[in-house]
Structure 1
Amino acid sequence: MAPLLQLLWLLTLLPIVALSPVSAKPWVDDEQAWNLSSQELLAPARFALEMYNYGRAAGTRAVLGAVRGRVLRAGRGSLFSLEATLEEPTCNDPQVCLLPEPKKTVLCSFEVLEELKEHLLLRRDCSPVNGKVTEYRNETSFHSFLPLLDKDPLPQDFSVKMAPLFKDFMTTYNRTYESREEAQWRLTVFARNMIRAQKIQALDRGTAQYGITKFSDLTEEEFHALYLNPLLQKEAGGKMSLAKPINDPAPPEWDWRKKGAVTEVKDQGMCGSCWAFSVTGNVEGQWFLNRGTLLSLSEQELLDCDKVDKACMGGLPSNAYTAIKNLGGLETEDDYGYQGHVQTCNFSAQMAKVYINDSVELSRNENKIAAWLAQKGPISVAINAFGMQFYRHGIAHPFRPLCSPWFIDHAVLLVGYGNRSNIPYWAIKNSWGSDWGEEGYYYLYRGSGACGVNTMASSAVVN
């Protein structure tokens, strides 16, 4: 990565990850319903207050009034949701405020991540109030934490400094925009994404590198709408029988790509059809292992003919298996090519080249998943795609609360596993083209249920 970009990222991070104590102030925990003592709130609240006051001169800093909070603990970390009233001092200094300002009370919501006694501010949302700490408003939506960073003002001239990198991005990914105004807007989005990518980098405990990708000019909302699959969170598909467990232990490593069971990386385009690619990838492997022929199968058939799922609006692997069985099989990619949008079903049973007999759900134990994969073939899984918008290479290992297994939104294909520098990983075939990640592949930490990789593992059955 360019040294200039690394330097700019580090400069933008300094006021966020810097940690030093502030003077002790009276602390109030006014509602026991929040289940936290004032002592538990002390460290994260002090940190949030220091970040609020960062860069202010003495005599202009706010002080804490009342505070309360909730916490979610996972592994070695804790995620604090705080509400606090801050007392802003009277301002009479013309160099600080244009007009004299009276003392006022501000209500702030903070999200503070604490791990190994270090802190990171994920959210700061403040507005003037009458001094009363009101009802807590944000329950458990972890996807809302980092997006709120986008509301922070960009460092002065940061977009200007990002312009050369943005120009290189446009050239690399052949981007054009309809107007100068749109190009300027995309530059602003790109600059914010550079800050966001570095914050994700700071939270990752693996070897993954995050930065510029072909999605770097998209807002998070656009990326989620165009490339992810919200229906996976519902898990409302048909029930599958449990697969028979594999009694043999998993080999130390395995890779079906080296054994001819995996087709080339495909590209779903701007369509939330990852569920179809995950399932066809699994069926391709099953057909190869049981019939000896590797065929690239049609995802478009599922978009058009699976009437239970929602095509580009998302779907579930369990429903897709049922559709393939009921339709009578899958045509090949050559015969029924991918268009990236729903159209009239054009399936012909006479053209179908493969069929499936059934589908099964796999264990949530990752050792058992590995043993099944090594013996039976690539596996359809679903994951939380946190950070994947900016993933470049390496083994991703996000902090668990930010990549919660309860927020599954992307279906992919497990094709192997192993270790790099003694770090265990899953090798995952994605469907965003070979110009993303490691030639289209994503590597995720193995052994801790990272990003919910073990929560929705399944496979077709070919007899």
Structure 2
Amino acid sequence: MASWLPLVWLLGLLPGAAPAPPRRDAGAQAWAPAAPELLRRPVRFALDTYSRGLAAGARAVPGAVSGRVRRAGRGALYALEVTLEELPCKDPAECQLPVPRRTLLCSFEVLSELGKHALLKQHCGPVDTEMKGAGRAQGCGQPGADFTRGSALISLFQSFPEDNNETLSPFLPLLDRDPLPQDFYVKMASLFKDFITTYNRTYETEEEAQWRMSVFINNMIRAQKIQALDRGTAQYGVTKFSDLTEEEFRTFYLNPLLKGGPGKKMRLVKSVGDPAPPEWDWRRKGAVTKVKNQGMCGSCWAFSVTGNVEGQWFLKRGDLLSLSEQELVDCDRVDKACMGGLPSNAYSAIKTLGGLETEDDYSYSGHLQTCSFSADKVKVYINDSVELSHDEQELAAWLATNGPVSIAINAFGMQFYRHGISHPLRLLCSPWFIDHAVLLVGYGNRSDVPFWAIKNSWGTDWGEEGYYYLHRGSGACGVNAMASSAVVN
């Protein structure tokens, strides 16, 4: 079997789609021209990452550089345009002359935060070789040159010390031997066999089975890297999603519309005033229905909102009802059904429709259907919706007083999450990249590690019986960036 080392180096850890614009309280500024000295480190990082996709021994030589910068909080986002030449070897004197050259114009987006860098976007295309400065590419670029964070070509992240020309990668990579030991593949084959049995997988052809095994192995390498970088107590490994590519997982289970921001404006709720109790769990108080399963449909936004409304109705009326997500998938004309949606829009749709039917009356199918809402079957209504504080102490106090909260998070690492308290590095799980809506049901501590208890919508055979535990107090994965609730009078 061919060495897997190149895959280890090329596999990225940053999931999802393009970054969401920073929230208004994140200190975001407008794009501004960047001085050349400010661009030196992000350009060097982008070219180093680009060069990893070249043939062995090849190099990329930069030409003209221009760029803009947008600051937010403690980080900065750079938009770069760089002309470069690709040479087939590091030392042209050792190559057969004349040395073939290819001139490209590349656009990069680089996020810099806390001394680390991450490549969010790259597009390269051919450019006129007589071009003297950065301009517009004359084409779509070579195959494989255009990618976002979901691609396997994105670098993990690296530090760039001020006086060191070498790229440092203090967290890269696990399994850095070439070739990998044979027992590694034996172990992976055994794990894949167990995975097929546990999750009752069948594949139509031998070729598909071989492909899925290669995806599985790549995913196990990714899971080990995520495990090594996590600062909490979470365990990552085999899950029911382990034979899906990152692109498949995002398409089927995540929500691309969340990256566009909160959507419909809601009034900001007042602070509770009283401090949050040391711990709280609405499951113990009967305000949370059983864990549901959205299936292969990006309808997490509907599950997050119905979970919140279920809790609000229970607290106001004393009756816990399992409400219909399918009604929102079919009848919310603003959101995009299985293609994603926003909680703020869903609240508005509930008010416009006149309420929600129960799960029994309007059952979930996991795909878009013709709206069959019946006002006669409405069991629950809402009067309004509110945006909650971004301060986690205030959010905890509001939750303990008023019930479960709809939130949206960056789902980094959740494809492989098994149990424990997840605490990824902020750079890898940035609040700029929110892509999954869930329900905050409580909080507490495990062995002095503070956590949020989060109800997910991927069934009870994922995570801790369907629940996800995320570090509390650090803004982990944007947990506090898009919190909201319905209001029932």
Same fold (TM over 0.5): yes
Which of 317, 321, 332 does residue 306 from structure 1 map onto? 332
Q: Do 2:8 and 2:221's aligned partners in 1 also have CA atoms closer than 8 Å?
A: yes
Q: Do 2:118 and 2:155's aligned partners in 1 also have CA atoms closer than 8 Å?
A: no
1:248-281 alpha-carbon deviations (Å, 9 max, x no partner): 0111111111111111111000001101100110
Which of 235, 243, 256 does residue 217 from structure 1 map onto? 243
| Aligned match of 2:354 | 328
Deviates more, 1:204-213 or 1:298-307: 204-213
| Aligned match of 2:152 | 148
Q: Do 1:112 and 1:119's aligned partners in 2 also have CA atoms closer than 8 Å?
A: yes
Structure 1 distance, partners of 2:323, 2:295, is 17
Q: Do 1:104 and 1:128's aligned partners in 2 also have CA atoms closer than 8 Å?
A: no
User: How far did 1:351 drift?
Assistant: 2.0
| Aligned match of 2:318 | 292
User: How far did 1:174 drift?
Assistant: 0.9
Structure 1 distance, partners of 2:111, 2:423, is 16
Specify the SS of the correspondent of 2:151: helix
Specify the SS of the correspondent of 1:400: coil
The gaps in structure 1 that reach 5 residues or longer are 1-7, 18-32, 94-98, 138-142
| Aligned match of 1:405 | 431
Shift of the 274–115 alpha-carbon distance from structure 1 to 2, 3 Å rule, reads closer
Structure 1 distance, partners of 2:117, 2:432, is 24
1:129-179 alpha-carbon deviations (Å, 9 max, x no partner): 989996799xxxxx9346334899x97688954322212111111111111
Under a length normalisation based on structure 2, what TM-score does the superposition of the two structures give? 0.72
| Aligned match of 2:474 | 448
Q: Do 1:297 and 1:331's aligned partners in 2 also have CA atoms closer than 8 Å?
A: yes
Structure 2 distance, partners of 1:340, 1:411, is 16
**1:47-446 residue pairs with structure 2 within 5 A?**
88-89=89-90, 144-145=148-149, 147-149=151-153, 160-161=185-186, 162-235=188-261, 237-446=263-472
- C-alpha RMSD over aligned residues: 4.5
User: How far did 1:326 drift?
Assistant: 2.3
Structure 2 distance, partners of 1:455, 1:408, is 9
| Aligned match of 1:30 | none
Shift of the 236–380 alpha-carbon distance from structure 1 to 2, 3 Å rule, reads closer
The structure carrying a bigger helix percent of its residues is: 1
Moved over 3 A (4+): 11-17, 33-49, 60-87, 89-93, 99-137, 149-152, 154-161
Structure 2 distance, partners of 1:206, 1:67, is 43
User: How far did 1:44 drift?
Assistant: 7.3
Shift of the 266–69 alpha-carbon distance from structure 1 to 2, 3 Å rule, reads farther
Under a length normalisation based on structure 1, what TM-score does the superposition of the two structures give? 0.75
Specify the SS of the correspondent of 2:360: coil
Structure 2 distance, partners of 1:435, 1:290, is 31
Q: Do 2:429 and 2:476's aligned partners in 1 also have CA atoms closer than 8 Å?
A: yes
1:23-58 alpha-carbon deviations (Å, 9 max, x no partner): xxxxxxxxxx76464997499769959x969xx9xx
Shift of the 293–241 alpha-carbon distance from structure 1 to 2, 3 Å rule, reads same
Q: Do 2:10 and 2:152's aligned partners in 1 also have CA atoms closer than 8 Å?
A: no
Specify the SS of the correspondent of 1:325: helix
Query: Which amino acid counterpart does residue 144 of structure 1 have in structure 2?
Result: T
Percent identity between matched residues is 65
Deviates more, 1:260-269 or 1:301-310: 301-310
Query: Which amino acid counterpart does residue 446 of structure 2 have in structure 1?
Result: R
Q: Do 1:41 and 1:68's aligned partners in 2 also have CA atoms closer than 8 Å?
A: no
Shift of the 36–433 alpha-carbon distance from structure 1 to 2, 3 Å rule, reads farther
Shift of the 214–134 alpha-carbon distance from structure 1 to 2, 3 Å rule, reads farther
Structure 2 distance, partners of 1:443, 1:179, is 38
Structure 2 distance, partners of 1:186, 1:15, is 16
1:89-126 alpha-carbon deviations (Å, 9 max, x no partner): 45999xxxxx9798677999999999998999999999
User: How far did 1:219 drift?
Assistant: 1.2
Query: Which amino acid counterpart does residue 395 of structure 2 have in structure 1?
Result: I
Specify the SS of the correspondent of 2:326: helix
Q: Do 1:105 and 1:128's aligned partners in 2 also have CA atoms closer than 8 Å?
A: no
**1:1-80 residue pairs with structure 2 within 5 A?**
35=35, 37=37, 41=41
User: How far did 1:401 drift?
Assistant: 2.7
Q: Do 2:237 and 2:417's aligned partners in 1 also have CA atoms closer than 8 Å?
A: yes
Structure 2 distance, partners of 1:43, 1:412, is 37
Query: Which amino acid counterpart does residue 238 of structure 1 have in structure 2?
Result: K
Specify the SS of the correspondent of 2:427: helix
Query: Which amino acid counterpart does residue 305 of structure 1 have in structure 2?
Result: C
Structure 2 distance, partners of 1:323, 1:451, is 27
Shift of the 237–176 alpha-carbon distance from structure 1 to 2, 3 Å rule, reads same
Shift of the 436–262 alpha-carbon distance from structure 1 to 2, 3 Å rule, reads same
Q: Do 2:431 and 2:478's aligned partners in 1 also have CA atoms closer than 8 Å?
A: yes
The gaps in structure 2 that reach 5 residues or longer are 14-32, 138-146, 157-174
